[in-house]
Structure formats: C-alpha cells, structure tokens
Amino acid sequence: MSRIGKNPITVPEGVTVEIKDNVITAKGKLGELTQEYSEVEIKQEDGIITLERASDKKNLRAKHGLYRALIANMIEGVSQGWTKQLELVGVGYRASNQGQKLDLAVGFSHNIVLDIAPEVTVETISEKGKNPIVKLTSYDKQLVGQVAAKIRGFRRPEPYKGKGIKFVGEEIRRKAGKSA
C-alpha cells in the first residue's frame, strides 16, 4: 500500500468537494480548482476523502500517491492558500510592484519587468538594511511554484558570494574562492 495514497484527506469547513466524471472540483473562500484523475477510485463520506486503486501495478501505485497529494494541495489551497517568498541578495538589487507588474533590478543593464498571472498576488517588502523580499500568494500551489521558479531563474544564487534570487530559508552551498 502506498504510504501517501492511503492517508485520508479531511475536508475543512467552508470547502465543498465535488466528484463527477473523473474530475474533482474543490471550491473554497479563496477560489476554485479542478483536477482530472484516472485509474484510481475516489470516495467522499462525512468530510473525509479516501483514494483506492484496483491493483498493485507500478503505475497505479504511483498515481495513487500522486492524486492524493494533488487533491490535498487543492483543498489546502482553496481554504488557506499558498505563499512563497523570494529574497534578493546583492548590492543594488531591488524589487517593486505596481499591481500585477513586478519590476526587478538584479544587476543587469536593464530592469526586468514581469507580468504576474492574475491568480497570484504579488507583494514586495523593502526595509532599510535588509534584502528586498518578493512575496507570492495564491490558492494554486503549482502556479505559485512556477512563478517563483521563473523569478528565481532570472538570477540564480551563485556559490561564491551567494548573490542572486533565492527562496527565504534556502541554504546555498558555498565554495571557497581561489587560494593563493
């Protein structure tokens, strides 16, 4: 039995889950998400969702855990939401936003202006003496992660000085410089 797939999912108050024609829909106070599924059976009773598979074939075992995790992330997203924070480490690195446009100054000859998806809320925090922080919030975990990875990809942290865009709390493996 899959360790992840066999865990039941509890549906919190304020979230409605609808299962119809191999599509599961979760509605909550923050939004609505849908997910198609196949080769697993989803049962909902008394606010608890359980997943079962037909046999122990390798691809069925994989999908069992996958769909359980995706559904759990959907339910948590529409009830509480997901947040990713990025920190800009480097002299002169700045971030600002106007609505859904994020403006990054990360050491290039020009600023990077990025249009953020309307489902993602962007906020920039700039305090004197601290590195600027870009805070992304949404009900869709996959979308928040994708936007955060795109922003981080503009200037990945380098291993010698640690400059670049990194996730808050991320440890960067540092290398020693030239030894004379």
**Residue 100: enclosing H or E segment and its boundaries?**
none
What average pLDDT does the segment 79-102 reach?
95
Distance (Å, rounded) from C-alpha 137 to C-alpha 91?
A: 26
Report the amino acid identity of residue 42. I
**Domains of the chain, residue spans:** 9-79, 82-167
Q: Does the pLDDT at position 90 exceed 70?
A: yes
Q: Does the pLDDT at position 180 exceed 80?
A: no
Quick one: pLDDT band at residue 2, thresholds 50, 70, 90? low
Q: Would you state the pLDDT for residue 177? A: 87
Q: Would you state the pLDDT for residue 3? A: 83
CATH class of residue range 9-79: alpha beta
Q: Would you state the pLDDT for residue 1? A: 47
Q: Kindly state the tokens that stand for 91.
A: 């002299």
Q: If you average pLDDT over every residue of the chain, what do you get?
A: 93
What average pLDDT does the segment 93-118 reach?
95
Would you say domain 82-167 falls under CATH 3.90.930.12? yes
Q: Would you state the pLDDT for residue 179? A: 79
What average pLDDT does the segment 68-74 reach?
96
Q: Do the domains at 9-79 and 82-167 have one common CATH topology? A: yes
pLDDT tens-digit map of 16-62:
999 999 999 999 999 999 999 999 999 999 999 999 999 989 999 99
Its sign, for the CA torsion 137, 141, 169, 153, is: negative
Q: How far is residue 176 from each of residues 114, 160, 161, 166, 169, measured CA to CA in Å?
A: 34, 7, 9, 20, 21
